[in-house]
Amino acid sequence: MENTESDFKENPENNPREIETDYPKHQDDPGPSPQAVNEDNDKGAGPVIKWGVPIIILILLIYWLFLRK
């Protein structure tokens, strides 16, 4: 199989929306609110994954090394 170039071309007219500052004026098609753009992501699944996955891997490694026989 040959490598081929992707035919995807991004539309230069498709720019991201600006942060909404005047909601009543753009109520039909608003952009994102400042709270949504600037919100910290400290309540997500990241901390659980950061600590959970290594612990699970360690437990499985111990099981594989010592208890598989």
Distance CA 37, CA 31 (A): 10
Distance CA 33, CA 22 (A): 10
Distance CA 15, CA 31 (A): 12
What pLDDT sits at residue 10?
77
* Secondary structure (H, E, C), 1-64: CCCCCCCCCCCCCCCCCCCCCCCHHHCCCCCCCHHHHHCCCCCCCHHHHHHHHHHHHHHHHHHH
- Mean pLDDT of the region 62-68: 89
What pLDDT sits at residue 1?
59
Residue 61 in this model has a pLDDT that exceeds 80: yes
Domain assignments of the chain as residue spans, ordered by start: 45-69
What pLDDT sits at residue 36?
77
Residue 56 in this model has a pLDDT that exceeds 80: yes
User: What digits encode the pLDDT tens for the residues 5-54?
Assistant: 777 777 778 777 777 777 777 777 777 778 877 877 777 788 888 899 99
